[in-house]
Amino acid sequence: MKKSMIKLAAGAAAVLLMSTSAHAGYTMKKKVGDVDTKLTVFGFSQINAETGGNIDDASDEAVRFGADRIRLGWKYSAGKVRGKVFLDFNQDAGALGKEDVGMYRVIKDAFISYVVDPGFVVKAGVIKTPVGMGFTIPGWNLDVIKRGFDKKLAFERGNGLMISGRDMFMGNNGKVDGLEMGHERPWKGFGYDVMIGNQTTRSGAVKESTGDDARGNAYMARLHFDYTELLHSEISYGVSPEASGEADSEDYKVLNIGLDSHFADGMNIKAEYYDVSGIKGAAEHDMQTLALTYTAYVTDSLELAVKSINGQEDEAGTERDVGNHYMGFTYYPSQVTTDKSRGGKRKNNQHSIKLNYVLATGDSEEFKGAGGIYRDDAVLAMYQFKF
């Protein structure tokens, strides 16, 4: 089974790496009885190089080449029914087993949704959990190359049932297609997500259970308010049980608050705060992070980006601070629009080149957190294409 999946991954990865399409997926339409159906195939690849402080490791002078994401997926709609499958072929063979959430780790998204109303959408399957604003931004649409060590505090993807609503109480100002997992489009009004699922063991702060007596359900909820692109705000909270993987260990608890403002000239400002406790089931391991992001266009095809992530942890009375500060730019070599809205940026991101310098500060050698930390300065480069 693993050998066949590895062969499939290699073949799909080769297709992605050779593709040069600038289209936002390929769509096929078909009428089944009285129902209009649509299938869209999409994917993206990110080829990286970096030198300096490798994540969680000591500094290394060598240049390391690799890929963050090599993904292929498809979306389906038929009346009020929606479905999505999204695969990441950049997973090692050991991650293909049916561990953590109950599906192969190569599966990033695999869910079905039913759109009763824009204010009531039911989803079931493997879904991006509704905890963490930055985490729900697609990996191909990030401001800097890495998500940062605060992403490890999110619940990541989970397997369960979620009920969502968007664009509520202020009129229908946006399209709700039933596939939403974050703030994909600008709205006017409130939105929500409520989810119950398995343990969130794809999180960097929750370990997989070792026995039947150490399993339980995770619960999480998010409330957000939007007023066009000028303001997106959200607050979320979640609990994942027995986070060490052992029975009777501490539950992992997360509070997240996020703000995102995008202006007419393309300038964007984000702020995101985490307050967590019970990291990996430890009774006295808490952490807070604050991430601030600023981007602005220098020309139509060149965008500057600065992101500062600062964390403080308290581990059984020992306090430590750490910072990873990203500085760099994004160049859009195949610019398709001069529109500087969020939607315009998403279109131009179908081809992009990023270069970042990461400055590591604070107690970077001793800091534990949940991982994902640059412990020494680093230089990162990435080429991305998406179709």
Task: For the chain, state the CA radius of gyration.
Answer: 20
Q: What pLDDT, on the 0 to 100 scale, is given for residue 32?
A: 86
pLDDT at residue 206 is higher than 90:
yes
Alpha-carbon torsion (170, 176, 179, 185), positive or negative: negative
Contacts (Cβ under 8 Å, ≥6 apart) of 214: 242, 245, 246, 247, 249
pLDDT at residue 92 is higher than 80:
no
* Percentage, residues of the chain above pLDDT 90: 70
pLDDT at residue 103 is higher than 90:
no
User: pLDDT of 149-198, one tens digit each?
Assistant: 999 999 999 999 999 999 888 876 778 899 998 888 888 999 999 999 99
Q: What pLDDT, on the 0 to 100 scale, is given for residue 214?
A: 56
User: pLDDT of 212-268, one tens digit each?
Assistant: 655 789 999 999 999 999 999 999 999 999 999 888 899 999 999 999 999 999 999
> Distance between CA 368 and CA 250 in Å, rounded?
18
The CATH homologous superfamily of the domain defined by 2-386: Porin (2.40.160.10)
User: Structural domain boundaries of the chain?
Assistant: 2-386
User: pLDDT of 61-86, one tens digit each?
Assistant: 789 999 999 999 999 999 999 999 99
Q: Please spell the DSSP secondary structure of 258-284, one letter per residue.
A: EEEEE-TTS-EEEEEEEEEE-GGG-TT
pLDDT at residue 110 is higher than 60:
yes
Cβ(263)–Cβ(272) below 8 Å: no
User: pLDDT of 4-62, one tens digit each?
Assistant: 444 444 444 444 443 333 346 889 988 888 889 999 999 999 999 999 988 888 677 78
- The token duo for 99 is 């561990």
> Distance between CA 371 and CA 311 in Å, rounded?
12
Quote the pTM value: 0.90
